[in-house]
């Protein structure tokens, strides 16, 4: 299996997993903490968390299928940076916990950069063959 396929599977799996388990199957305490930080009611927080889970699952599927889309990969990196900033502003103490958003998001951003580098290399290689 190529490094590109490994990166593709891990990036898409990460979005799928984070959408399904801590948001759709069972709302994790971290998720409750984040929406409570904004000031949403329990009912609104539940709906927002479930909607975020559906969005993450859809995004994971999009990444899996369209992993060769530069726009989607750029959006992925931007979303991961935004989510990290969101945590840093609302719950900065979470950034020093085990298995925190820093280590997760930076790793997924790195794998996304591998996918982008492959796209650029493929594009340059195609031009060289013409």
Specify the pLDDT at position 124. 86
Cα 83 to Cα 70: distance, rounded to the nearest angstrom: 20
pLDDT band at 128 (very low <50, low <70, confident <90, very high): very low
Q: What is the mean pLDDT of the chain?
A: 93
Percent of the chain with pLDDT over 90: 84
Q: What is the DSSP string of 61-76?
A: HHHHH-TT-HHHHHHH
**Which tens digit of pLDDT belongs to each residue from 24-57?**
999 999 898 888 889 999 999 999 999 999 999 9
pLDDT of 121 reads 94
pLDDT of 35 reads 87
Half-sphere exposure of 73 (CA within 13 A, CB side): 21
Give the pLDDT score at 126.
62
* Chain position carrying tokens 């490994």: 6
Query: Would residue 9 be called left, alpha or beta, if left means φ above 0 and alpha means ψ between -120 and 50 degrees?
Result: alpha
Q: Is the dihedral of CA 108, 97, 57, 32 positive or negative?
A: negative
Mean pLDDT of 83-88: 96
């Amino acid at each position: 299996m190529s490094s590109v396929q490994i990166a593709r599977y891990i990036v898409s799996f990460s979005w799928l997993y984070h959408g399904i388990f801590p948001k759709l199957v069972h709302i994790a305490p971290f998720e409750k903490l984040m929406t409570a930080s904004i000031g949403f009611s329990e009912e609104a927080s539940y709906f927002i968390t479930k909607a975020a889970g559906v969005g993450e699952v859809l995004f994971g599927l999009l990444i899996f299928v369209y992993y060769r889309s530069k726009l989607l990969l750029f959006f992925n990196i931007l979303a991961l940076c935004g989510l990290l900033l969101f945590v840093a502003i609302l719950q900065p103490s979470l950034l020093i916990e085990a298995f925190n958003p820093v280590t997760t998001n930076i790793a997924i951003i790195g794998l996304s950069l591998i996918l982008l580098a492959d796209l650029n290399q493929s594009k340059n290689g195609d031009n060289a063959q013409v």
